């Protein structure tokens, strides 16, 4: 059994599941959540979804699946060191991207724009929708019926408008308050993972260079250490030595700064963490500044690179054209959506739009491209 700090999430004190179930026999409640997530269809789809690069660009680039595993690795190491609940941390990490559309950020922005008059589209909320409603695995309830604590962690952000319909899990977006330390941790581990793997992937596909990256303090400092220790080293091994040190630097700073913050705060349990006025997990001011600088560098030089933008524009066209085609005539949706859609179309246009958004959001990159061809290319099989 893992030793748990008093302010961490304790499985036996969970606020429970939407549908009451008996406790698992040889697992904790959070282990069961983690296992349910791994066995979900949405989790398997992460393999063919991407964040910045598109799936077919090369075998070595991160997918949302490997990204989620990296987030879980970073977050679990920290959780274990700080006596937070490692099972809950892992469950949140593996589930945090389940609601993402195909084609990363541009896919999500496009779907949100398409859904403007129908309640919008938020990927965090969609991740929650995935585990609460869209997965169909159990006889007695929709979704995979996770604990409050895992659902709280999945819902990283939420608009006030949507939070009102969510019951207890939406409460903190209306009244203020923080999620568990495990949720706060996963959130930061997410950005440690993607900043570093985007550096790595960006260098791999030569959209950015080591010389450019030396303009950022975070990269420059570790790169300098590596060159001093190994003056002959270059290429991949030099990059890998640098990136692993960057991750380590961020993790160590996070542990040390947060440990002090927890001590200073005097919080004694998870309720005090939730009602504390600000997050208790954080980087030092200096490292926070350096991380922000790296983030801005990536935005300018990688996410806005013309080759990335071309793909984003393509994604916009694919998603919005599909969305409008399905809205024009729901009968071209696959049969299993018909009952739902015809019922809903009679009901209201926004209910139909939600069915279409769920269908599109669930697509992987490659499925979306195939479906697009089936819809719009006359020579393609339907």
Binding site for Mg ion (CB under 5 A): 97, 190
Q: Which is nearer to Mg ion, 70 or 132 (CB)?
A: 70
Q: Which is nearer to Mg ion, 32 or 156 (CB)?
A: 156
String of DSSP letters for 184-232 = HHHHHHHHHHHHHHHHHHHHHTTSS-HHHHTTSHHHHHHHHHHHHH-TT
Q: Which is nearer to Mg ion, 226 or 246 (CB)?
A: 246
Residue with tokens 């393609």: 380
DSSP state of 269: S
Residue with tokens 């961020």: 250
Closest distance of CB 51 from Mg ion, Å:
7
Q: How far is residue 141's CA from residue 163's CA, in Å, rounded to a whole number?
A: 22
Closest distance of CB 67 from Mg ion, Å:
6
Closest distance of CB 71 from Mg ion, Å:
6
8 Å CB contact between 40 and 144: yes
The angle at the Cα of 157, spanning 152 to 159, to the nearest 5 degrees, equals 115
8 Å CB contact between 239 and 210: yes
Closest distance of CB 45 from Mg ion, Å:
15
Closest distance of CB 103 from Mg ion, Å:
15
Q: How far is residue 142's CA from residue 172's CA, in Å, rounded to a whole number?
A: 24
Using CB positions, name the residue nearest to Mg ion: 190
Closest distance of CB 194 from Mg ion, Å:
6
Segments in the chain forming alpha helices (H): 29-38, 41-45, 64-82, 86-95, 104-114, 123-129, 148-154, 160-163, 171-175, 181-204, 210-213, 217-229, 235-265, 270-275, 285-298, 306-328, 338-347, 349-362, 365-376
Q: How far is residue 149's CA from residue 91's CA, in Å, rounded to a whole number?
A: 10
Closest distance of CB 16 from Mg ion, Å:
27
Q: Which is nearer to Mg ion, 194 or 219 (CB)?
A: 194
Closest distance of CB 280 from Mg ion, Å:
21
Closest distance of CB 221 from Mg ion, Å:
25
Token pair listed for 61: 């680039």
Q: How far is residue 244's CA from residue 249's CA, in Å, rounded to a whole number?
A: 9
Q: Which is nearer to Mg ion, 51 or 178 (CB)?
A: 51
Q: Which is nearer to Mg ion, 197 or 283 (CB)?
A: 197
Token pair listed for 37: 């997530």
Token pair listed for 278: 């600000």
Q: Which is nearer to Mg ion, 112 or 227 (CB)?
A: 112
Q: Which is nearer to Mg ion, 135 or 190 (CB)?
A: 190
Q: Which is nearer to Mg ion, 195 or 257 (CB)?
A: 195
């Amino acid at each position: 059994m893992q030793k748990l700090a008093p302010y961490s999430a304790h499985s036996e004190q969970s606020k429970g599941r939407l549908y009451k179930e008996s406790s698992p026999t040889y697992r904790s409640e959070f282990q069961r959540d983690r296992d349910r997530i791994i066995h979900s269809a949405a989790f398997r789809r992460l393999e063919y979804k991407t964040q910045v690069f598109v799936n077919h660009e090369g075998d070595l680039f991160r997918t949302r699946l490997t990204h989620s595993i990296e987030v879980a690795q970073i977050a679990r190491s920290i959780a274990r060191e700080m006596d937070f609940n490692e099972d809950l941390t892992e469950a949140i990490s593996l589930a945090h991207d389940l609601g993402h559309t195909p084609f990363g950020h541009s896919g999500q922005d496009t779907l949100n724009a398409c859904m403007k008059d129908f309640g919008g589209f938020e990927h965090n909320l969609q991740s929650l929708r995935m585990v609460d409603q869209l997965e169909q695995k159990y006889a007695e309830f929709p979704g995979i019926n996770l604990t409050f604590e895992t659902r709280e962690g999945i819902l990283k952000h939420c608009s006030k408008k949507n939070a009102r319909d969510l019951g207890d899990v939406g409460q903190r977006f209306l009244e203020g308050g923080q999620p568990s330390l495990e949720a706060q941790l996963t959130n930061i581990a997410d950005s440690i993972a993607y900043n570093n793997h985007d550096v790595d992937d960006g260098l791999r596909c030569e959209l950015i260079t080591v010389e450019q990256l030396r303009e950022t303090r975070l990269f420059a400092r570790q790169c300098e250490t590596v060159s001093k220790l190994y003056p002959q080293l270059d290429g991949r091994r030099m990059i890998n030595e640098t990136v692993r040190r960057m991750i380590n630097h961020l993790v160590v700073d996070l542990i040390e700064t947060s440990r002090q913050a927890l001590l200073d705060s005097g919080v004694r349990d998870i309720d005090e963490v939730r009602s504390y006025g600000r997050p208790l997990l954080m980087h030092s001011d200096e490292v926070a500044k350096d991380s922000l600088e790296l983030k801005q560098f990536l935005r300018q030089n990688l996410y806005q690179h013309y080759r990335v933008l071309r793909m984003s524009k393509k994604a916009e066209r694919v998603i919005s054209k599909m969305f409008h085609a399905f809205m024009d005539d729901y009968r071209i949706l696959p049969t299993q959506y018909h009952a739902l859609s015809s019922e809903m179309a009679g009901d209201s246009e926004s209910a139909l739009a939600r069915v279409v958004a769920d269908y599109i959001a669930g697509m992987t990159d490659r499925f979306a491209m195939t479906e697009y061809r089936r819809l719009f290319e006359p020579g393609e099989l339907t």
